C-alpha cells in the first residue's frame, strides 16, 4: 500500500490492496487520469497518450499552435468547463461577471498517513493511521483565487479509494457553485456494462445492467433523499462479468440527499464517470474566505466479479463506516407492532404482543407509529412528540418498564423530520416547514417536511426527541422519514441562497443525528424512509441498520435483499416475518420461507403474535432459537450470492464465518414447476481442504466436493414458495 509521487515525471501512483490508481500532471499543470485497475508495481507510461489532431477539439490558449493538444481528447482527473473539454465537467462556478469559465492548474500536494473526517458530513474512517494513506492535490485558478483540493484515500487492506473535493474561495469576489461533484474517472474505452439499483416504494434496489452506449446514461435523485427510485450506486462491468469473474469499477455516494451518478461515452468511445450532489436546482454561494466540502464517493475495484466487490463494500462499511457500540454487537431479534395494529392499539394490546414475543424468545419490542399527539391515522400530530395518554394512560415509561419486566428491551418509532399541518407544532410555527412564500404547500402522506436547514428547528426537535429518550428506558429507535421534498425553500435563507436549502437540510439532519446518536450511545438506531428509501452509506454512518423495505413479503424480499446486498452489509438490513396473506402484495407463503428470508438479515417479526396458531408458535420459537445460534455468522460473516432471483425462479445465497469453519446455505424456489430441473447447488466461499458435516444429518462432504460437484436440492420440496437450508460445520476427519 502507499501513495508515491514521482517528481521527475510528475506521476502519482496510489496503491490499495490489489489496486493501482495513477494520475499525471502535464504541461502547465493539467491533471490527467492515467490508470485504475489491477495493482502494478511501477508505472512507466506504457499506455502513453497519443496526441492526435481531432477535428473540432480545440486547443487551450497557451497551446493554440499545437493542434494535437486538446482537453477534449485527454483523460481528465477533475474536468472543467469552457476551455476545450466539451464533455460534462465535474464542477462549474459562476463569477460576479456572469462567466462560468474556470481554469484549474496543479499547484501542490501533500501525502499523509490515515484519513481526516469530513466536517459535518458522514464518511469512512480509520481507527489507526496505518489503515490508510491520503493524498491531497491542490489545484488553483489564479485569476479568481479559487482553490480546489482533491482528496484521495487508499485503504491498506481493501481495494478501496475514497474521494472528495474541497472548494476554497481565496479571492475577493463572490462565487456561485453550480456544480460540485465529488469525483470523476475518465476511462479510455467504453467496453462496459452500466449496472445500477433502481426501484420504487416497496420495490427497492432492483438490479439492472445494460451495455454502455454513446451519450449520457445516468441515475439521480431530485427528491431530497437518496430515494427508493435510484440508489446512489453505479458500477461499470467488463462485458460478461459475473459474480466471480470479471472487472468491476464501482461507485457509491456517502450522502442521503439529491445525487447524480453519470456515465458519458464520448465521440472517441472514452467513458467519463462522475458522481456527486445533483447539480439540478443546486446553487451554493461561496463568499470570499468561505469553503465548501463535497461528500465522499467510495470507489471499489474488483478483478473478481461482483461478489468480491460486494464483500469489499461490506467489510469497509461494517468496520470503517458504521460507528459506535453496536458496530460489533449482535443485533437483537425484535417484534414490531406496525403491521399487527397500525394506529389502532392501547397499552393492553401492546403488552399482549410483547408478552407473546417474550415467550417465543424475542429480545426487543418496538412500538411503532401512533404513540404520540393524537395520532389515530396519518393525518395528524407529527412534531408533537408527547405521549398520547388516551392510548397509553400510564405513559411510555410505565409501558417500557412492563416490557422490560418481561425480559425484553423496549424500542420506539419517531419521524423527527416531519410535521403534520394538524399538529400543535405547526399551529405554533407554520414557517418551520420547507416552503416557498405565497405558494401552496404540497402534502404527501398528509405531511410537510420540517426545515432542518434552520438551527432553531433542529434544536427544538433534538430536544423533543431527547426528552423522550432520557425519560424512558429505550434501547432502540426507528427513525422514519415518509415523504420527499416539494416547494423547497427556507424562511431563514435570503433569496440568493434558496437553492442551498436541500443540501443545508442534509447538513442540519446530519448534525441532529450526530447529536442524538452520540448522546445516547446505548441506543441502537435503525433508519427508515418508508422502508428502504434512504438505504445509503450516509445514513449508515449514524445508524448501523436500516429498515430494508416496507414490503415484508418473502418472494418480493428475495429481489430486494439480493439487490441491497450488492453494496450494503447483511448486518445493516432489517428483515421481518409478517402475516399472510401479506399486506403489501397479498401473497401467502409458508412460515418457514418467511423465516428463512428474514433470517438472511437482522431477524424480526411484524405481525400479531397473539394470533399465531400452536403450530406457527412452535415454528417461530424454533426460528428464534436457531437464529440466535447462527446470527453471528449471518451478521458478521462473509456473504456469497449463488443464484440470482433476477435470472429465474430460484435464489440461493450462503453465509460463512471468516475462518470458513461454518456456513449456512439458503435456497429458495418461487414457483413449483412441472418437470423441474434437478438442481445441484455449487457452493462458494468455503474451504476446499475442510470436511463439512451437514448439521442434523450424518453426512460429511469435502469443501471441494461441495464447491465443484455441488449439493442436490431435495426433490421432495413440493409446491410454490419453498425454501431449504443447510447448516454446515467443519469437522476434523
Ligand atoms: C413507514 C415505515 O417504513 C413503516 O415500517 C412504519 O413505521 C410506518 N412508516 C409508520 O407510519
Q: Mean pLDDT, 10 residues at a time, over the chain (733 residues)?
A: 93 97 97 98 96 95 94 97 96 98 98 98 98 98 98 97 98 98 98 98 98 98 98 97 98 98 98 98 98 98 98 98 98 98 98 98 98 98 98 98 98 98 98 97 98 98 98 98 98 98 98 98 98 98 98 98 98 98 97 98 98 98 98 98 96 98 97 84 98 97 98 92 97 74
pTM of the model: 0.98
Which architecture, in CATH terms, is 650-730? Sandwich (2.60)
DSSP assignment of 47-109? T-------TT----GGGTT-TT--GGGS-BSS--SSSS--S--SEEEE-TTS------EEEEE
- The Cα–Cα gap between 505 and 433 comes to 11
Q: Is 344 a catalytic residue?
A: no
- State if residue 482 touches ligand 1 by the CB under 6 angstroms criterion: yes
- The Cα–Cα gap between 226 and 529 comes to 10
- State if residue 72 touches ligand 1 by the CB under 6 angstroms criterion: no
Closest CA to 597 of 565, 575, 579, 568: 575
Contacts of 556 (CB under 8 A, 6+ apart): 202, 203, 549, 584, 585
- The Cα–Cα gap between 710 and 680 comes to 6
Q: Matching CATH topology for 325-417+457-482+521-636 and 650-730?
A: no
- State if residue 413 touches ligand 1 by the CB under 6 angstroms criterion: yes
Q: Is 550 a catalytic residue?
A: yes
Collapsed DSSP state (helix, strand, coil) of residue 522: coil
Residues 36, 301 contacting (CB under 8 angstroms): yes
Q: Quick one: pLDDT at residue 677?
A: 76
Q: Which atom of ligand 1 is nearest to the CA of 531?
A: 3
**Torsion sign (Cα): 433, 435, 438, 444:** negative
Return the CATH fold of 75-320. Beta-galactosidase; Chain A, domain 5 (2.70.98)
- The Cα–Cα gap between 161 and 301 comes to 9
Q: Quick one: pLDDT at residue 1?
A: 59
Contacts of 520 (CB under 8 A, 6+ apart): 466, 469, 477
| Strand bridging mode 291-293 / 160-169 | antiparallel
Q: Which atom of ligand 1 is nearest to the CA of 529?
A: 3
- State if residue 547 touches ligand 1 by the CB under 6 angstroms criterion: yes
Residues 199, 243 contacting (CB under 8 angstroms): no
3-state helix, strand, coil in the chain (%, to 5): 25, 35, 45
Give the Å distance between the CA of 530 and the centre of ligand 1. Answer: 6
Residues 26, 10 contacting (CB under 8 angstroms): yes
For residue 483, count CB atoms less than 10 angstroms from its CB and return exposed for 0-12, middle for 13-18, buried for 19 or more: buried
Residues 604, 613 contacting (CB under 8 angstroms): no
Q: Quick one: pLDDT at residue 7?
A: 97
Pocket test for ligand 1, best of 336, 543, 546, 547 (most atoms within 8 A of CB): 547
Q: Whose CA is nearest to atom 2 of ligand 1?
A: 530
Pocket test for ligand 1, best of 418, 445, 550, 552 (most atoms within 8 A of CB): 550
- State if residue 540 touches ligand 1 by the CB under 6 angstroms criterion: no
418: left (phi over 0), alpha (psi -120 to 50) or beta: beta
| Strand bridging mode 573-578 / 545-547 | parallel
Closest CA to 335 of 307, 304, 361, 357: 357
Give the Å distance between the CA of 391 and the centre of ligand 1. Answer: 19
Q: What does the angle CA 44 – CA 46 – CA 48 come to, to the nearest 5 degrees?
A: 105
Return the CATH fold of 325-417+457-482+521-636. TIM Barrel (3.20.20)
Q: Quick one: pLDDT at residue 302?
A: 98
Peptide bond before 397: cis, by omega within 30 degrees of 0? no
- State if residue 192 touches ligand 1 by the CB under 6 angstroms criterion: no
Q: Whose CA is nearest to atom 1 of ligand 1?
A: 530
Residues 227, 201 contacting (CB under 8 angstroms): no
User: Pick the catalytic residue: 480, 596, 638, 687?
Assistant: 480
Question: What angle in degrees, to the nearest 10, is found between the helix axes of 395-405 and 455-471?
Answer: 50
Contacts of 547 (CB under 8 A, 6+ apart): 478, 480, 526, 527, 528, 531, 532, 574
- The Cα–Cα gap between 94 and 181 comes to 15
- State if residue 546 touches ligand 1 by the CB under 6 angstroms criterion: no
- State if residue 480 touches ligand 1 by the CB under 6 angstroms criterion: yes
- State if residue 338 touches ligand 1 by the CB under 6 angstroms criterion: yes
Q: Whose CA is nearest to atom 10 of ligand 1?
A: 369
Give the Å distance between the CA of 145 and the centre of ligand 1. Answer: 49
Give the Å distance between the CA of 678 and the centre of ligand 1. Answer: 41
120: left (phi over 0), alpha (psi -120 to 50) or beta: left
Give the Å distance between the CA of 340 and the centre of ligand 1. Answer: 12
Q: Which atom of ligand 1 is nearest to the CA of 378?
A: 11
Strand partners, 150: 137, 165
Give the Å distance between the CA of 88 and the centre of ligand 1. Answer: 39
User: Pick the catalytic residue: 85, 536, 550, 596?
Assistant: 550
> Where do the structural domains in the chain lie, given as residue ranges?
75-320, 325-417+457-482+521-636, 650-730
| Strand bridging mode 296-302 / 545-547 | unpaired
Amino acid at each position: 500500500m502507499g501513495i508515491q509521487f514521482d517528481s521527475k515525471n510528475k506521476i502519482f501512483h496510489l496503491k490499495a490492496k490489489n489496486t493501482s490508481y495513477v494520475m499525471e500532471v502535464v504541461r502547465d499543470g493539467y491533471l490527467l487520469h492515467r490508470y485504475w485497475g489491477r495493482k502494478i508495481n511501477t508505472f512507466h507510461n506504457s499506455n502513453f497518450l497519443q496526441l492526435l489532431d481531432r477535428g473540432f477539439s480545440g486547443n487551450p490558449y497557451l497551446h493554440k499552435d499545437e493542434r494535437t493538444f486538446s482537453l477534449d481528447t485527454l483523460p481528465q482527473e477533475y474536468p472543467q468547463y469552457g476551455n476545450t473539454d466539451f464533455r460534462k465537467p465535474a464542477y462549474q462556478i459562476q463569477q460576479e461577471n456572469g462567466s462560468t469559465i474556470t481554469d484549474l492548474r496543479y499547484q501542490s500536494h501533500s501525502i499523509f498517513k490515515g484519513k481526516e473526517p469530513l466536517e459535518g458530513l458522514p464518511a469512512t474512517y480509520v481507527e489507526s493511521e496505518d489503515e490508510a494513506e491520503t493524498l491531497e492535490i491542490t489545484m488553483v485558478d489564479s485569476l479568481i483565487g479559487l482553490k480546489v483540493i482533491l482528496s484521495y484515500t487508499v485503504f491498506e487492506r481493501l481495494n478501496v479509494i475514497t474521494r472528495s473535493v474541497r472548494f476554497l474561495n481565496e479571492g475577493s469576489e463572490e462565487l456561485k457553485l453550480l456544480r460540485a461533484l465529488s469525483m470523476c474517472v475518465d476511462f479510455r474505452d467504453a467496453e462496459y456494462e452500466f449496472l445500477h439499483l433502481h426501484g420504487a416504494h416497496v420495490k427497492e434496489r432492483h438490479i439492472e445492467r445494460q451495455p454502455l452506449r454513446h451519450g449520457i446514461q445516468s441515475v439521480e435523485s431530485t427528491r431530497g433523499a437518496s430515494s427508493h427510485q435510484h440508489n446512489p450506486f453505479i458500477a461499470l462491468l467488463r462485458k460478461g462479468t459475473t459474480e466471480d469473474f470479471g472487472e468491476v469499477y464501482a461507485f457509491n455516494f456517502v450522502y442521503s440527499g439529491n445525487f447524480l451518478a453519470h456515465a458519458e461515452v464520448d465521440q472517441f468511445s472514452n467513458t467519463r464517470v462522475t458522481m456527486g450532489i445533483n447539480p439540478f436546482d443546486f446553487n451554493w454561494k461561496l463568499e470570499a474566505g468561505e469553503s465548501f466540502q463535497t461528500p465522499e464517493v467510495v470507489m471499489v475495484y474488483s478483478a473478481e466479479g461482483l461478489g468480491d466487490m460486494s464483500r469489499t463494500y461490506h467489510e469497509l462499511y461494517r468496520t470503517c463506516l458504521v460507528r459506535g457500540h453496536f458496530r460489533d454487537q449482535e443485533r437483537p431479534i425484535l417484534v414490531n407492532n406496525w403491521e399487527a395494529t397500525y394506529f389502532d392499539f392501547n397499552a393492553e394490546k401492546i403488552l399482549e404482543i410483547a408478552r407473546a414475543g417474550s415467550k417465543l424468545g424475542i429480545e426487543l419490542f418496538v412500538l411503532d407509529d401512533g404513540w404520540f399527539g393524537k395520532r389515530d391515522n396519518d393525518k395528524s400530530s407529527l412534531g408533537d412528540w408527547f405521549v398520547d395518554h388516551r392510548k397509553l394512560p400510564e405513559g411510555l415509561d410505565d409501558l417500557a418498564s412492563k416490557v422490560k419486566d418481561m425480559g425484553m428491551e423496549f424500542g420506539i418509532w419517531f419521524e423527527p423530520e416531519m410535521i403534520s399541518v394538524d399538529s400543535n407544532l405547526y399551529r405554533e410555527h407554520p414557517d418551520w416547514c420547507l416552503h416557498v412564500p405565497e405558494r401552496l404547500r404540497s402534502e404527501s402522506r398528509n405531511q410537510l417536511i420540517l426545515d432542518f436547514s434552520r438551527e432553531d428547528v433542529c434544536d427544538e426537535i433534538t430536544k423533543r426527541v431527547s426528552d423522550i429518550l432520557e425519560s424512558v428506558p429505550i434501547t432502540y429507535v426507528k427513525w422514519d422519514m415518509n415523504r420527499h421534498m416539494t416547494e423547497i425553500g427556507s424562511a431563514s435563507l435570503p433569496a440568493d441562497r434558496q437553492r442551498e436549502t436541500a443540501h443545508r437540510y442534509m447538513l442540519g439532519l446530519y448534525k441532529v443525528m450526530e447529536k442524538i446518536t452520540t448522546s445516547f450511545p446505548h441506543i441502537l438506531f435503525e433508519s427508515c424512509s418508508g422502508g428502504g428509501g434512504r438505504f445509503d452509506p450516509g445514513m449508515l454512518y449514524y445508524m448501523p441498520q436500516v429498515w430494508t423495505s416496507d414490503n415484508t413479503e418473502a418472494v418480493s424480499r428475495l429481489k430486494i435483499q439480493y439487490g441491497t446486498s450488492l453494496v450494503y452489509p447483511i448486518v445493516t438490513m432489517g428483515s421481518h416475518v409478517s402475516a399472510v396473506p401479506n399486506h403489501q402484495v397479498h401473497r401467502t407463503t409458508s412460515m418457514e420461507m418467511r423465516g428463512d428470508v428474514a433470517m438472511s438479515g437482522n431477524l424480526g417479526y411484524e405481525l400479531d403474535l397473539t394470533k399465531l396458531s400452536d403450530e406457527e408458535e412452535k415454528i417461530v420459537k424454533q426460528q428464534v432459537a436457531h437464529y440466535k445460534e447462527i446470527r453471528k455468522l449471518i451478521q458478521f460473516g462473509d456473504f456469497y450470492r449463488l443464484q440470482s432471483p433476477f435470472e429465474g425462479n430460484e435464489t440461493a445465497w450462503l453465509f460463512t464465518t471468516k475462518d470458513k469453519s461454518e456456513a449456512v446455505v439458503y435456497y429458495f424456489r418461487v414457483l413449483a414447476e412441472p418437470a423441474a430441473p434437478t438442481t445441484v447447488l455449487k457452493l462458494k466461499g468455503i474451504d476446499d481442504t475442510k470436511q463439512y458435516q451437514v448439521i442434523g444429518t450424518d453426512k460429511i462432504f469435502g469443501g471441494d466436493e461441495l464447491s465443484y460437484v455441488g449439493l442436490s436440492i431435495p426433490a421432495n420440496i413440493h409446491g410454490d414458495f419453498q425454501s431449504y437450508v443447510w447448516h454446515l460445520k467443519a469437522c476434523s476427519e
